[in-house]
């Protein structure tokens, strides 16, 4: 890497076409993004805990609702997969919320990752923050003994599957609408109606910032 003079006597680096130097700079940028994401997420958790304490609830929730949302990619996105069930090419947002709809855990995967696998990875990553969870409410897409074993091993919690109406007609599922409302909050953000980010880490950061702005505005 060499240096060239620019305005006001300041020097800026000149990046050569050497692949090693470009890889080093890319890894440094990803590290900065990861550290920024951790900072935002820690601030967000503090606001959620303060909100729950203000309501007279415990700081950490004992009940979460888990769901996933497949989102289409734009042309600039690099990470993508195909969700055959919903016929969407893009990424998948995995979300675990409390009874207020405030996220307790967020995870991003490609759209081809199943809801169960994505939720298991999310719970494993956020097991410390979810250590007091006793019940996990999910829909029929999370049924299966493997997911129940993952929840039991990471959280020592039970899984409750909310069954849909067998008559195949629309019906609001009790408590399941809370997580659907949280996803609808994200759709109010212009940048999040599709996935416009190149990396999954950046997509996760945008979702955290959206929820952070929402909590600061409402509460």
125-146 pLDDT, tens digit each:
999 999 999 999 998 889 889 9
pTM: 0.80
Distance separating alpha carbons of residues 216 and 96, to the nearest angstrom: 20
Q: Quick count: other Cβ atoms within 10 Å of Cβ 44?
A: 19
Share of the chain above pLDDT 90, in %: 45
Q: pLDDT at residue 22 above 80?
A: no
The confidence score (pLDDT) of residue 28 equals 53
Q: Quick count: other Cβ atoms within 10 Å of Cβ 194?
A: 14
Of residues 3 and 106, the one with the higher pLDDT is 106
Distance separating alpha carbons of residues 104 and 99, to the nearest angstrom: 10
Taken in order of first residue, the domains within the chain and their CATH numbers are: 22-218 (3.30.420.10)
pLDDT in tens, 51-83: 899 889 999 999 999 999 999 988 777 778 999
Instruction: Find residue 72's DSSP bridge partners.
Output: 90
């Amino acid at each position: 890497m060499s240096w060239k003079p620019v305005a006001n006597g300041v020097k800026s680096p000149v990046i050569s076409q050497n692949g090693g130097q470009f890889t080093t700079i890319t890894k440094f940028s990803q590290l900065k993004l990861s550290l920024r994401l951790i900072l935002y997420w820690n601030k967000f958790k503090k606001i959620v805990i303060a909100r729950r304490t203000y309501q007279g609830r415990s700081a950490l929730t004992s009940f979460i609702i888990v769901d996933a949302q497949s989102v289409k990619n734009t042309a600039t996105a690099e990470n993508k997969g195909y969700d055959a069930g919903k016929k969407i090419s893009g990424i998948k947002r995995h979300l675990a919320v409390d009874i207020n709809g405030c996220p307790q855990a967020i995870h991003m995967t490609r759209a081809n990752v199943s809801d169960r696998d994505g939720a298991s990875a999310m719970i494993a990553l956020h097991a410390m923050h979810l250590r007091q969870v006793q019940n996990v409410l999910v829909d029929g897409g999370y049924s299966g003994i493997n997911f129940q074993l993952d929840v039991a091993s990471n959280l020592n919690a039970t899984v409750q599957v909310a069954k849909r109406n067998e008559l195949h007609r629309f019906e609001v599922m009790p408590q399941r609408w809370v997580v659907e409302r949280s996803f609808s909050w994200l759709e109010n953000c212009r940048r999040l109606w599709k996935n416009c980010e190149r990396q999954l880490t950046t997509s996760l950061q945008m979702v955290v910032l959206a929820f952070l702005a929402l909590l600061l505005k409402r509460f």
